[in-house]
Structure 1
Amino acid sequence: MVWWLLAAVFALALVLTGLLRKYALSRGLMDVPNARSSHDVPTPRGGGVAIVLSFLAVLPFLGASNGLSSSYLISLSGAGALIALIGFLDDHGHIAARWRLLGHFIAAAWALYWIGGMSPVEAFGFLLDLGWFGHILAATYLVWMLNLYNFMDGIDGLASVEAICVCVGGCIVYFLSGHGFSVTPLILALAVCGFLYWNYPPARIFMGDAGSGFLGITLGILSLQAAWVSPDLFWAWLILLGVFIVDATFTLVRRLLRGDKVYEAHRSHAYQFASRHYGAHKPVTVGVVLINLFWLLPLAACLVKFKLDGILMLLVAYVPLFLLALKFGAGSLEEKK
Structure 2
Amino acid sequence: MIYLILLLISFSLTYFIKEYAIKKSLVATVNERSSHTVPTPHGGGIALAITWFLGLLYLYFTDDIDLNLFYALLVGIVISLVSFLDDIYELSAKLRLIFQSLVSLGGLYFLGGFESLDFFVFSIENQIVTNIFAFFMIIWFINLYNFLDGINGYAGSEAIFLSLSGFILFNENHFIVLIVAVLGFLYWNWNKAKIFMGDVGSTLLGYNIAVFTIYYSNQTSENFWIWIILFSLFWFDATVTLIRRKLNGEKLSQAHKKHAYQRLTQAGWSHYKVTNYSVVVNIILFCLVYFVSNIFIAFIFSIILLNFVMKYIDKKKSFIKYS
The TM-score range, normalised by the shorter chain, is over 0.9
The answer as to whether partners of 2:117 and 2:130 remain within 8 angstroms in 1 is: no
| Aligned partner (choices 42, 59, 62) of residue 59 of structure 2 | 62
**Where in structure 2 are the equivalents of 1:250-265 lying within 5 Å?**
250-265=240-255
**Where in structure 2 are the equivalents of 1:15-26 lying within 5 Å?**
15-26=12-23
Query: Are 2:84 and 1:95 aligned?
Result: no
CA distance in 1, matches of 2:160, 2:189: 13
Q: Closer, same or farther in 2 for the Cα pair 1:148/1:12, shift >3 Å?
A: same
Query: Are 2:130 and 1:141 aligned?
Result: no
* Aligned-CA RMSD value: 1.7
Residue number in structure 2 paired with 1:193: 183
| Aligned partner (choices 301, 311, 314) of residue 290 of structure 2 | 301
The answer as to whether partners of 2:65 and 2:174 remain within 8 angstroms in 1 is: no
Deviation, structure 1 residue 67 = 3.6
Residue number in structure 2 paired with 1:177: none
Q: Closer, same or farther in 2 for the Cα pair 1:157/1:239, shift >3 Å?
A: same
CA distance in 1, matches of 2:138, 2:318: 22
| Aligned partner (choices 106, 111, 115) of residue 107 of structure 2 | 111
Deviation, structure 1 residue 279 = 3.6
Counterpart of 1:76, as a letter, is L
CA distance in 2, matches of 1:331, 1:135: 37
Deviation, structure 1 residue 35 = 2.1
Query: Are 2:233 and 1:243 aligned?
Result: yes
Residue number in structure 1 paired with 2:277: 287
Counterpart of 1:94, as a letter, is E
Residue number in structure 2 paired with 1:222: 212
CA deviation map 1:88-125 (0-9, x unaligned): 11110111101111111110110000001112233326
The answer as to whether partners of 1:270 and 1:331 remain within 8 angstroms in 2 is: no
The answer as to whether partners of 1:87 and 1:213 remain within 8 angstroms in 2 is: yes
Q: Closer, same or farther in 2 for the Cα pair 1:289/1:257, shift >3 Å?
A: same
Residue number in structure 2 paired with 1:320: 305
The answer as to whether partners of 2:124 and 2:130 remain within 8 angstroms in 1 is: no
Deviation, structure 1 residue 334 = 6.2
CA distance in 1, matches of 2:98, 2:318: 26
CA distance in 2, matches of 1:218, 1:74: 12
CA distance in 2, matches of 1:60, 1:281: 35
Residue number in structure 2 paired with 1:167: 163
Query: Are 2:309 and 1:335 aligned?
Result: no
Q: Closer, same or farther in 2 for the Cα pair 1:81/1:314, shift >3 Å?
A: same
Q: Closer, same or farther in 2 for the Cα pair 1:334/1:166, shift >3 Å?
A: farther
Deviation, structure 1 residue 12 = 1.0
CA distance in 2, matches of 1:325, 1:66: 44
Residue number in structure 1 paired with 2:153: 157
CA distance in 1, matches of 2:122, 2:219: 17
Counterpart of 1:258, as a letter, is N
CA deviation map 1:185-232 (0-9, x unaligned): 221111101100000010000000110000000111011111122221
CA distance in 2, matches of 1:160, 1:243: 13
Query: Identity across aligned pairs (percent)?
Result: 32
CA deviation map 1:116-140 (0-9, x unaligned): 1112233326554131111011011
Give structure 1 stretches of 5+ with no counterpart.
Answer: 175-180
CA distance in 1, matches of 2:5, 2:252: 40
Bigger drift between 133-142 and 228-237 goes to 228-237
CA distance in 2, matches of 1:51, 1:299: 29
CA distance in 2, matches of 1:53, 1:228: 28
CA distance in 2, matches of 1:234, 1:65: 28
Q: Closer, same or farther in 2 for the Cα pair 1:66/1:290, shift >3 Å?
A: farther
Query: Are 2:26 and 1:29 aligned?
Result: yes
TM-score by length of 2: 0.95
For the residue of structure 1 that corresponds to 2:118, the secondary structure is strand
CA distance in 2, matches of 1:138, 1:31: 33
Aligned residues: 321
TM-score by length of 1: 0.91
